[in-house]
Structures are given as structure tokens and as C-alpha cells.
Amino acid sequence: MSAPAPRPLAITPGDPNGIGPEVALKAASVARREGIDVVLVGAPATWLSWSIRLGLDSEPLPLDGSGGPVEIDAEDGPAHDGPSTEGGRVALGAIDRAIAGCLAGEFGGMVTAPISKESVRLAGSPFPGHTELLAERAGADNVVMMLVREAAPALRVALVTIHEPLRAVPALVTRQRVAATLAGVSGALQRDWAIGRPRLALLGLNPHAGDGGVIGTEEADILAPALEDARAAGADADGPFPADAFFGRGAWQRYDVVVACYHDQGLAPFKALAQGAGVNVTCGLPFVRTSPDHGTAFDIAGHGKADESSMLEAIRLAAVLAARRDAAG
């Protein structure tokens, strides 16, 4: 008996007034030519107007007919030049449709173009980003945001805290949360990347990883015990390491993933090293979800010059991860 055909990937447009629809359409067209099955979900008018503007109407892509709550006619350019309630509603409607399809087994995974946090807030969403929204909708207790560049040497950076104000981070970096993040990332690499025993590196919270307690005690009081917990659970984890020296000396190349305590600690060096080839992966969901590693870029939306490279890598990686999950049953 032949293996079943791969289920299509759901592609969401992100904020319809940003570069999301543009990079999604460009990348989806290439992915289709590479044999990856994709379906555009969300308000049809958003996709169709952007397709006409980009001259892609001669290469129609599968379009989900359920649409979204708002349809924006933007043939002459984005309806807004920045965040808007309407843009947030379109983005959220597409995300909800993709999640529902993934949970029902209709889609093999979802690839999300960038949203505007301000737009979705204006539209009434309490979530600061995709990761938090996806976790709530999917009922997932331990999701982890991980940025990856699969080209050699592979670079992966996961986060203990995500979209949190810096002043709130120390209280959120708890022993339980760090240990859960390490365990979650280790499990994701084993399941979705087929890495038998992933090597994890944990960065310190403070400069110089606390410098023996001179600059802070979180490394000794919280991070070291969390590492012990993770090791007891089977994870191969080292640290805590000073973040600047760790990246500056290339130590990240000895590990399968680097776990950072907060957003910019991990993502600033990641984006500097990845050079636009990064992909955002949400670990811990019951389905595959990836996205590009950039934002809405309202300032260049509608000019046809957005680079779709990261979105294309997100689609390619989602296809690989979804196929591995399907093969594993």
C-alpha cells in the first residue's frame, strides 16, 4: 500500500497591510513549483488583490473558501500604512482558520506571515504574539519559541521568556520554567529533527553569567538547579554560559540548540548570524507551525520589493517537519 499524500500546509497572510501577503504569495509560488502542497487561508480579497498587484494572477494558488471576517480591497496599495483594527481582524481570522484546520487534520501544518502586535491588540486580542495565541488555542502547556537556520552550520536558539518587558524577565526565569523549556526543546529536536540526544547550551541571565555571584545570583540559585532537573529528566544540557563570549567565540557551533533567558539575548545574535535565512518554529504544539524571522515592515509594503527568502525557508522546513510527524504516526 502506498503512503498517503502529504496534507497541504496552511499559509496565513499576517497583517494585510504589511509585507506578509507579498512574501507569502512569492514564497508559496516557488514552493508549489518545488512540489510542496500549500493552501492560502484567510480573507480571499486580501490574497486576490495582492496577487493582482504582484502580477501573480496567472499562477493561481489554492485558496481556502471559508475566508475571514473582513475583506480588504487593496488593489492600489495597502488599505492602511500601519497598524489598524481591520488588519488585526483579518490576521486573526486567518490564524484561527489555520489552527482549526490543523487540529482537525485537514492541514499538515501552518506557516504564518508576520502580524502586527498593535493591530491584533486593536482588534481585541490579548495575546502579544503568535506563540502565545497558538498555545492557548491548541491547549498546549509547554510551548517554546525557537529560531532556526538549517544551513550548515545549523544554528538554533530557543527562549525561556518570549514577548515580555525586560523589567519582568527576572521574575519569570524560574527553576521550573527553565527546566521545562530545556525538556521541551530536547523533546522537539528528538521528535521533529530526529536528533537522538540533542546537546543543549543554557545562557546565563546576567552579564558574565553572574561572575560568581558578583553581578547576580540567578545563575547559582535558579539556572544551575534547573539544569540539574533537566539532566535528571534525560536532557544533555550544559551551562549557564556568558552570552556574549558564547556567541563571540563560536561556542554555539558545538551545540544543537542554545537556550536564552530572554528575547533579545538570543535573537539579536541569531539574526546577525542567520542573515535573513532564519525560521521561527513553535515547539510543543500538536501540529507544525513555522514563520519567517522578520516583521510586517509597513514602510515597504506595497512596493513589491520585500524579500521572501525567510518565508520560503519557513514553508520548506514546515514541509519537512510535517512529513516526519506523519511518518512517525
pLDDT (tens digit per residue) in 82-107: 899 999 999 999 999 999 999 999 99
Determine the Cα–Cα distance for residues 6 and 99; give it in Å rounded to an integer: 17
Determine the Cα–Cα distance for residues 168 and 304; give it in Å rounded to an integer: 39
**Contact, 230 vs 263, CB < 8 A?**
no
Between CA 305 and CA 310, with CA 309 as vertex, the angle to 5 degrees is 115
Question: Residue 122 has what pLDDT?
Answer: 93
**Contact, 46 vs 71, CB < 8 A?**
yes
Q: Would you report the helix, strand and coil content of the chain in percent, each value rounded to 5? A: 45, 15, 40
Question: Residue 59 has what pLDDT?
Answer: 55
**Contact, 136 vs 236, CB < 8 A?**
no
Question: Residue 74 has what pLDDT?
Answer: 41
Say if residue 72's pLDDT is above 70: no
The CATH number of 1-140+287-329 is which of 3.40.50.170, 3.40.718.10, 3.30.70.890, 3.40.50.300? 3.40.718.10
Question: Residue 80 has what pLDDT?
Answer: 65
Tell the burial category of 143 from Cβ atoms under 10 Å away from its Cβ (0-12, 13-18, 19+). buried
Question: What average pLDDT score do residues 120-140 get?
Answer: 90
Considering the chain, tell me which residue range(s) the CATH 3.40.718.10 domain(s) occupy: 1-140+287-329, 141-284
| Fold entry, domain 141-284 | Isopropylmalate Dehydrogenase (3.40.718)
For residue 258, the tally of other CB atoms under 10 A from its CB is 28
- pLDDT of 226-249, one tens digit each? 999 999 999 999 999 999 999 999
**Contact, 315 vs 36, CB < 8 A?**
yes
Say if residue 73's pLDDT is above 70: no
Look at the chain and count its residues.
Answer: 329
Say if residue 151's pLDDT is above 90: no
Q: Which has the closest alpha carbon to 12: 328, 311, 325? A: 311
Cell triple for 159:
527562549
pLDDT above 90 as % of the chain: 76
**Contact, 285 vs 138, CB < 8 A?**
yes
Local structure of residue 220 (DSSP, 8 states): I
Q: Which residues pair with 202 in a beta bridge?
A: 259
234: phi then psi, degrees, rounded to nearest 5:
110, 0
Measure Cα distances from 140 to 50, 99, 328 in Å: 34, 13, 20
Question: What value does the mean pLDDT of the chain take?
Answer: 90
Q: Which residues pair with 139 in a beta bridge?
A: none
Question: Residue 302 has what pLDDT?
Answer: 84
- pLDDT of 240-277, one tens digit each? 999 999 999 999 999 999 999 999 999 999 999 988 78
Question: Residue 60 has what pLDDT?
Answer: 61
Question: Residue 79 has what pLDDT?
Answer: 61
For residue 248, the tally of other CB atoms under 10 A from its CB is 11
Question: Residue 53 has what pLDDT?
Answer: 82
CA 174 to centroid of chain Cα atoms: 23
Question: What average pLDDT score do residues 76-81 get?
Answer: 58
